[in-house]
Structure 1
Amino acid sequence: MLYEQQQPQMVRPDQEMKATKVSSPGRRNYSIEEERLEIVDLSGMSLDFLLPSPSLNLAAICKLDLSNNNLQNIPESLTARLLNLVVLDVHSNQLKSLPNSVGCLKKLKVLNVAGNLLESFPKTIEDCSCLEDLNANFNKLSKLPEAIGFELVNLKKVSVNSNKLVFLPRSITHLTALKILDVRLNNLRSLPEDMENLINLEQLNVSQNFQYLETLPYSIGLLLSLVELDVSYNRISTLPDSIGCLRKLQKLCVEGNPLVSPPMEVMELGLHRVKEYLSEKMNAGHMSPQKKRSWVGKLVKYSTMNGRISGRRAEKPEGFIMSDYRPIDGLASPRYMGMFSPRRLFSPKNLFTR
Structure 2
Amino acid sequence: MEMKVERKGSIEEEKKEKVDLSGMSLDTLPNLSTNVLLITELDISNNNLESIPESLTARLLNVEKLDVHSNQLKSLPNSIGCLSKLKVLNVSGNLIESLPKSIENCRALEELNVNFNKLTRLPDTIGFELTHLQKLSVNSNKLAYLPYSISHMTTLRILDARLNCLRVLPDGLENLINLQILNVSQNFQYLNTLPYSIGLLISLIELDISYNKITILPDSIGCLKNLRKLSVEGNPLVCPSMEVVGQGLDAIKEYLSERMKGNEPGTKRRSWIGKLVRYRTFNGQTVNGAHDQDGFLLSDYRSIDGLASPRFMGLFSPRRLFSPKSYFAR
TM-score, with length taken from structure 1: 0.71
Determine if the alignment matches structure 1 residue 49 to structure 2 residue 39: no
Q: Does 1:202 pair with 2:192?
A: no
- Evaluate the alpha carbon distance shift between residue 276 and residue 148 of structure 1 in structure 2; reply closer, same or farther with a 3 A threshold: same
Q: Which residues in structure 2 correspond to 1:133-172 (within 5 Å)?
A: 133-172=111-150
In 2, the alpha carbon distance for the partners of 1:200 and 1:14 equals: 38
| Cα distance change of structure 1 residues 262 and 14 upon mapping to structure 2, 3 Å threshold | closer
Corresponding residue of 1:119? 97
Structure 2 letter corresponding to 1:40: V
Which position in structure 1 is the counterpart of 2:297? Answer: none
Contact 2:5 2:17 (C-alpha < 8 Å) held by counterparts = no
Question: CA RMSD for the aligned pairs?
Answer: 2.4
Summarize deviations over 1:241-295 as a string: whole Å, max 9, x none.
11000000000000000000011222222211211111111122x77659x9xxx
Change (3 A) 1:59 1:259: same
Contact persistence 2:6–2:18 (CA under 8 A)? no
Distance 1:128 1:145 in 2: 13
Moved over 2 A (4+): 14-17, 286-290, 330-335
The answer to whether 1:333 aligns with 2:322 is: yes
> What amino acid does structure 2 have at the position aligned with 1:215?
T
Q: Is 2:17 the counterpart of 1:38? A: yes
Aligned length: 268
1:236 corresponds to which residue?
A: 214
Correspondences of 1:1-354 after superposition (within 5 Å): 13=3, 38-52=17-31, 56-284=34-262, 332-333=321-322
Contact 2:71 2:94 in 1 (8 A): yes
- 1:266, 1:112 → 2: CA distance? 40
Structure 2 gaps of 5+ residues are 8-14, 270-318, 325-329
- Seq. identity, %: 66
Distance in 2 (alpha carbons) for counterparts of 1:198 and 1:76: 34
Secondary structure in 2 matching 1:207: coil
1: CA distance between counterparts of 2:77 and 2:321? 22
Once the 2 structures are TM-superposed, how far is the Cα of residue 136 of structure 1 from its aligned partner? Answer: 0.6
For the pair shown, the structure with the greater C-alpha radius of gyration is: 1
Query: 1:14, 1:63 → 2: CA distance?
Result: 12
Contact 1:92 1:332 in 2 (8 A): no
Provide TM-score, normalisation by structure 2.
0.77
Distance 1:37 1:269 in 2: 54
CA gap 1:287/1:180 in 2 versus in 1, 3 angstroms = closer
- Contact kept? 1:193, 1:218, Cα under 8 Å: no
Rounded to whole Å, the distance in 2 between the matches of 1:240 and 1:75 is 48
Higher relative contact order (CA 8 A, sep 6+): 2
Q: Residues 47 and 275 (structure 1 numbering): CA distance in 2 closer, same or farther, change over 3 Å?
A: same
